[in-house]
Amino acid sequence: MCKSKSEGGLGFRDIEEFNQALLAKQAWPLLLEPQSLLSRIYRAKYYADMEFLEASHGSRPSYAWRSILFRRELLERGIMKSIGDGKSTRVWLDNWVMDKAPRRPMNKETSMNLRLSVSALITAHGSWDFMKLNELFLKGDVDRIMSFPPNKNYKDEWIWAYSKNGKYNVKSGSWLVAQPIIYQEPLPVETSHQNKLKSKIWEVDTMLKIKMFMWCVLSGAFAVAECLRAHGMQAIQICQICKNGNESIVHVLVECDMAKQVWLKAKIPLLQ
């Protein structure tokens, strides 16, 4: 009965889904208005050294804060960066390309500069650097990026991808919460080069479990919080080891403080 009439249902709203969509509207200002009184109160108690999207439950969270994090899960599915000067948007870590869902662009190569900001892809005249885009991204993503010109007179900002004005509304939130979750991790593209690299794993002279680990990394089949949440599972988003970033595949293997220590002791150059 809760399916749309076009899908053979009666168009009734699922109460739990509608409730999440309704309450997500209250979490929206915490993302867009970090200097508001409410934002400053919650920031002081729960995420003083990080951004709202990186905040965890913390110790002894209030019912209100737990409710906000529940609402935030829906926002995370539908938000993306609108590019102004590109300075606050990270190319490989933030969602700023719109496909079937907001996502990060897919890279051509397996190596990447994790600190690269979108501003590095904008020319001095304020337009996209077409040469750099083609160097880093696949043609499909280059076309998507070229369809929305940057504006160096404005800062980047978070927008809601499913409304015309970029602001969250309950109607679009209700629609999104009823949709299957689309996996948003930009997995390595299955090109012939990538397939060849995967096949080489099985030729490495090492233990089978290490080969399996490397294959899972290249395939994006890694049980980190970001992947689990993308599949609708409950998982704390913030890294539980360093508390300095979201637990993604890249973070666990490269960015996390413990991962950096391992790379350092192994005397293997860390990706820049």
Residue with the two structure tokens 């637990």: 247
- Give φ, ψ of 153 to 5 degrees: -85, -5
pTM for the whole thing? 0.62
Q: What is the largest CA-CA distance in the chain?
A: 62
E-strand ranges in 166-258 read: none
Tens of pLDDT, residue by residue over 89-144, are 999 889 999 988 899 998 877 667 878 999 999 999 999 999 999 999 989 999 99
Q: Residue 5's pLDDT is what?
A: 43
- The answer to whether 210 and 129 are in contact (CB under 8 A) is no
Arithmetic mean of pLDDT, 75-87 = 93
DSSP 203: T
Which one has a higher pLDDT value, 260 or 267? 260
How far is it, in rounded angstroms, from Cα 96 to Cα 159? 10
- The answer to whether 24 and 79 are in contact (CB under 8 A) is no
